[in-house]
Amino acid sequence: MPTDFLLFQVDSPREQANEVASAFVKFCEDSALGLHVYRTAVAIEKPQIYLYAKLPSQMEIGLEACHALQGLFHEACGKVTHASRLQLALQPEACSMHEAPKFHYVVETDTDEGWFDKIAEWYDEEHMLGLAAVPGTISAMRLINLDARCEAGDNRPRSFACYDLTNPEVLGSPPWLAVRHTAWSDVARPHFKNTLRTMMAIIEP
């Protein structure tokens, strides 16, 4: 499937984040796919690390190839690892795009049956555009997790939205809250399910 990013989610305590991120940098440098490190971040409230590798261009990567990369990085870092193929759907220009990112916020969700395209429309026409325009938002992306529920027992949500921020307080700022509390948001958000919201600190390996 056409893939723009590979996401490696590693179960690891926060104090090992720099070690895991450094292993990821070497993994990308040694990759035959020409991967380069896009973002490395560690969850603030749970022992999990998100590592994003950007492909040199959108390319077809099969499920078996994704599994092989997952296995290779598991060997490289010695931690439980889950790899996902992410397809970029939207990346609007952000208000604070020239500032250095310090925090990374992710919203992963599934939707009620028949609502995936409606939620995507809400993101693309109102919600993500609004959040990207909030002071303190450095970048915003909507992606599709191509590996969501690809196997029995897989609980990864399909919709994947992520934001680089100057600080976590951006989420409580009046402009951010105004975007969250629109009439369209009140219609869309009740159709989220299996939702994961994760605030992370960005790692500079």
pLDDT digits (tens, 9 = 90+) for 30-57: 999 999 999 999 999 999 999 999 999 9
Average pLDDT over residues 59-88: 94
CA 187 to CA 182: how far, in whole Å?
Answer: 9
Every domain of the chain and the residues it spans: 2-87, 88-202
> Are 2-87 and 88-202 the same fold in CATH?
yes
pLDDT digits (tens, 9 = 90+) for 127-169: 999 999 999 999 999 999 999 876 655 678 999 999 999 999 9
88-202 under CATH 3.40.50.300, yes or no: no
Two structure tokens written together for 12: 């690891």
What 8-state DSSP symbol labels residue 123? Answer: I
2-87 under CATH 3.40.50.300, yes or no: no
CA 183 to CA 175: how far, in whole Å?
Answer: 15
Of 106, 114, 104, the closest CA to residue 168 belongs to 104
Of 166, 26, 182, 162, the closest CA to residue 106 belongs to 162
In the chain, the largest separation of any two C-alpha atoms, in whole Å, equals: 48
Q: What pLDDT score does 140 carry?
A: 98
Q: What pLDDT score does 150 carry?
A: 62
Of 18, 20, 91, 98, the closest CA to residue 54 belongs to 91
Of 154, 167, 165, the closest CA to residue 194 belongs to 154
Q: What pLDDT score does 151 carry?
A: 60
pLDDT digits (tens, 9 = 90+) for 164-204: 999 999 999 999 999 999 999 999 999 999 999 999 999 98
What 8-state DSSP symbol labels residue 101? Answer: P
Which residue has tokens 């500032």?
99
Q: What pLDDT score does 127 carry?
A: 98
Of 73, 41, 48, the closest CA to residue 204 belongs to 41
Distances (CA, A) of 137 to 25, 103, 120: 25, 10, 20
Q: What pLDDT score does 55 carry?
A: 97
What ranges in the chain are assigned the alpha helix state H? 17-30, 63-77, 116-122, 128-132, 174-180, 183-188
**194 close to 166: Cβ distance less than 8 angstroms:** no
Percent of the chain with pLDDT over 70: 97
Q: What pLDDT score does 72 carry?
A: 95
Two structure tokens written together for 192: 């989220």
Average pLDDT over residues 21-34: 96
pLDDT digits (tens, 9 = 90+) for 79-130: 989 999 999 999 999 999 999 999 999 999 999 999 999 999 999 999 999 9
**pLDDT band for position 205 (50/70/90)?**
confident
Q: What pLDDT score does 124 carry?
A: 98
Q: What pLDDT score does 152 carry?
A: 56
